[in-house]
Structure 1
């Protein structure tokens, strides 16, 4: 009997099934240094213990997307090892900061299944939670993936498509305990623009670009222990290229957004997102953001801003995202909708 694991296929999932993912991981300060070496991440709250303390936190938390990658990476062997594509995200919320020294594990519940008409694959919806060493949830989100079938003749499961919110309501945002921006130092943060300076509908071109290197994305994907074959095995695709992990593009775009959104300090919700087109080594990633909504919070001096973050291949803001057929143009790599916290 083989002791190796080929991963789950579509017919291996059942609605209600709970999967506890291997392997728990303790994250330390070295994780922050590697993250900031991989991406031009400069948001002050996740860079400086002193800045974080002045903002009411005990110390500087690890970057929100760093926590996301750790939680996401745990799920890959059980959810997307045999995936054709990662299709989308919804109802994501950061529930507590992740601190150096925390041990993070992940678990997912299957909440939806739908076989595709070709009978060769199907869509699996899972709700994933990341938990720390005290079993306190630090992150939750829904994602759905298209997964191959092992046996095309296997019977289709009953179709269950979850009803998901289009966005996280402002009242459901979780603000880190103690966060206080009333004494916020805009000079040290890098920009003077506060919550009240942004208008719904405003678009911000983040100007800068970064060319993706093979070595960097391979290091990042290994760091998050993401085992998806398309990211490592060049023979897994007909074009012989390794596919860049979508989270690598998210982190790169978020880091680039510092230029114009330096004070969008913490991501607190992921409303939705699409990896619109594949990204490969040699592509130059640029980004722009659009302000979708704004809301006040109950924390002193803290406002919430809803942003659409778009990453493109070699182009800047100013062109449509989709063609007349409703499909994303080939230059579009990422279309992400999230809430962040910003000083009033």
Structure 2
């Protein structure tokens, strides 16, 4: 059984990443198959509850107000539309709904009150609820937890060394502080990155080191391939090679063996065979539905056909307990192990 470690070095991760590709896939697949549920894939649906007009300068993002990308600014969605989207996603096979808002940080105002109501409403549908709303304070994270939020997404995007090249309107430490607040509130952590930003392989390894050396591994790590958007500073970046995605997913699976690894943005550019390689290398989560916030994504029907072909099945909601139960469930499992010995 793969060991859970929080003290990986860059040298160790680099040695894993750079090994011959077939050996890397084999090692990752072997670790993945130590989990009896390796054929289960967690399906999330992502909707934009507040689109465009963001004051940040993330170089990849079409929702930044300073870039002319053709994305229209929309106020926060009405709750009934969010519930309808959640019901449609659940009918399509999704067990998690992620709600994204183009904010720099959460503000304690009426819009946040509306998000709290949305979290409660989607939770009542027996779906895992995830939010990605920008930076959070400790008290805001607790409010979300009290409303029943299951997960909070806050990606690191790239390495600490490379971060200022991609974003100047906030710091890496601010990203990590939000993850601390989320963890303290006992909300599960969803945090990963994007490849294809013009970063080096060393940057990718550094980002994985940061994630794997957090006090507790993120429950979910999305690996995104950049979708270049006209009007953003990274519009002319070359398409990420599928082999880079496979290496990132496999390395993530090896160093964070219990984490759900999400094959995220960029899937529309991948064939079924290429996606199959990613699942073999340890990916066990996807976003399904026609859009990822503002970029295209395969439809539910397309993904279900792929699942049938590959022998995959959707993972049920709340596999590791409902909000606030994850810690007590783990304590129970640890106690069982102690008594067994």
User: What is the TM-score normalised by the length of structure 1?
Assistant: 0.27
User: What is the TM-score normalised by the length of structure 2?
Assistant: 0.27
Higher RCO (CA-CA < 8 Å; seq separation 6+): 2
Return the structure number with greater helix share.
2
Q: Which of structures 1 and 2 has the bigger CA Rg?
A: 1
